[in-house]
Structure 1
């Protein structure tokens, strides 16, 4: 039984007009540095920050904030961390229901902080045996399996997928400006199996139309390519057509491809003469003038998740998906920015492709990562299934 003493630290949410990742991390490091800390090499800190991805800097800053808040409440010295304090901290996180992956990341962030500030010597306190044992014990109690994003498989011509599918969501997209953007976003994200950071960073210059109507997408950088070697992804002719419609409707000729679309619906005044733009009506039957404004900034991670879930709800209301009664809300909540990537991975496994080829195509860090997302489908097409299905049908 794990018991907690003291409040659980919370990761700080980012606010509007937030500082850059470098500023955010440097501010938190300044707050954490002990007053009696010896001088630290400025070049050393500069190069450490240059080697990190922006998302990593923000994650480390947020994790360090949580640790500092707990230490302040418990009146403990934050840095260098005491191994016993780290164990107590982990127990509080576990008691609040945090997963093993979260605890491991929090400790990894504190290890990085000790290295940046040159604290703890050759063996930082995060590597102390009692800390490693605390992490192992928590994994034994809770299990190390991570929650997997709900897959958005293609369905339709590929078949074999129940619930929400890319085919159903594409059919649910409207024909207005917002709808054609959403359809292009879904179609491209699935074809290329993109992470949300890759999807929201796509620029017009990254697209390479091919003579047969298909396309290539250049990815200058990704999570597993921090050195910027670049990668390429294939896009179907259907996706390229949807992108062309979105560009035509939005007027985007350069810069980021997927942007926020503002929608303004204004009720018709009594003496106003309706024109071709008047067409929608509200619940009272009054005509509405709908204006769409395409922004200049890329979509955010939260914005992409909201788009997926909004279209999924529309597909359900239109009767395009078959879900058991009472499961709609849960099914929508499990959709995330990773759902298209997981869905394509599972579709490729279902088609008989091997883990190494899938990992290479989708830029997974290793075949084992791809196998984790296709584990159930891999079992269905594995050695036992192939052999025994012939004699035990």
Structure 2
């Protein structure tokens, strides 16, 4: 497509290797090897033989993300043990309490301390420790240390900044700052902007985790007669066995998805991919230069002799073949948020702006939809089922304040206490 003013726009679908590459994260085999290496280095010399088949089966039952998290947490504990000259396996309950105090002194949150103990419990089970005498992480001393930490620090976890819908759903006028409506308004009409708008719209409507969003494929979309759509989710964090589930997509979202697919030329495979952009400025024509006026040491003297024609500005979009990464999705949210602020769609500046953008994460769309559903009066059980939360309590954690408007007291007393 050519435009006399804007220049030429070219869209290429190339192998992802044609794009600038980030260092690939470890494959499943690399994560397994790292975890095994950490455990093997920490085991005492007199440790009884460990069942290789048992470890292999345990690894097969874990998600790659779980193994990576265990490896990272275990590396931290093993390093502390080496510094303090303590034995990592089997861990002594008193050493675990000292380790917890070390983590608390570093400013770690209660949730982090609990996760570290759960990681160590898993690592001990992997090598067969605790089957007879119980796990050291279950010792009353360790449990009391965790309980004492929660009493001192409080158990409230920091939440991802929500990206709520705003606009028509904001009847109370309480949604401030960045909203889905504002970010969609900030998306441009080029290939990248169409991709960003479809990504935001799908992520919000379906309340997707970032792993579900990056795993979405064209073949997972099922358009409906009324213009809406269904999105198949083959596997999720709470569905490791792959029973699958479905999410609803609005007609607006489906229009945005179709616009992105048509413009990008994607027909199958990952739905959301990297978009490489190559912008070249226009150049004026350079007339031929007489031979005698060209210095003898000039490079590319043939071009000067013949001259060069004028060239138009050109923007080339290169669509990758692989799906976006978690980091790529987060970067898109923050870039579009900054564009919304720059365009004056969201009135925010200075430190407040940068703090608000930094608070956005890959969980923001899911949290935003959860809060919007609570604000609309939906109950926690229905929200948990719709958004595939592990329990209503998990969903309620993100909408505790908004859920008050539709609880038993508000429903009964609102008619008589005016």
Q: Give the TM-score, by structure 2 length.
A: 0.84
For 1:140, the equivalent position in structure 2 comes to: 151
**Contact kept? 1:162, 1:322, Cα under 8 Å:** no
* Secondary structure of 1:347's aligned partner: helix
For 1:307, the equivalent position in structure 2 comes to: 332
* Secondary structure of 1:327's aligned partner: helix
Matched, 1:170 2:207: no
Q: Distance in 1 between matches of 2:264 and 2:202?
A: 17
Matched, 1:94 2:90: no
How far does residue 157 in structure 1 lie from its aligned partner after superposition?
1.9
For 1:62, the equivalent position in structure 2 comes to: 72
* Secondary structure of 2:267's aligned partner: coil
For 1:114, the equivalent position in structure 2 comes to: 124
How far does residue 273 in structure 1 lie from its aligned partner after superposition?
2.7
For 1:254, the equivalent position in structure 2 comes to: 268
Matched, 1:234 2:248: yes
| Unpaired stretches in structure 1, ≥5 consecutive residues | 1-13, 279-288
CA distance 1:327–1:388, shift in 2 (3 Å): farther
CA distance 1:17–1:188, shift in 2 (3 Å): closer
Alignment of 1:133-212 (within 5 A): 133-159=144-170, 160=173, 161-212=175-226
For 2:294, the equivalent position in structure 1 comes to: none
For 1:8, the equivalent position in structure 2 comes to: none
Matched, 1:380 2:405: yes
* Secondary structure of 2:248's aligned partner: strand
For 2:26, the equivalent position in structure 1 comes to: 18
Aligned counterpart for 1:85 among listed residues 95, 99, 102: 95
Q: Distance in 1 between matches of 2:115 and 2:333?
A: 28
Q: Distance in 2 between matches of 1:270 and 1:45?
A: 67
Q: Distance in 1 between matches of 2:269 and 2:42?
A: 39
**Contact kept? 1:263, 1:293, Cα under 8 Å:** yes
Q: Distance in 2 between matches of 1:194 and 1:180?
A: 19
Task: Specify the structure having the higher radius of gyration (Cα).
Answer: 2
For 1:225, the equivalent position in structure 2 comes to: 239
| Unpaired stretches in structure 2, ≥5 consecutive residues | 1-21, 286-308
Report the aligned-residue RMSD. Answer: 1.8
* Secondary structure of 1:151's aligned partner: coil
Q: Give the TM-score, by structure 1 length.
A: 0.89
Matched, 1:329 2:354: yes
How far does residue 19 in structure 1 lie from its aligned partner after superposition?
4.3
* Secondary structure of 2:321's aligned partner: strand
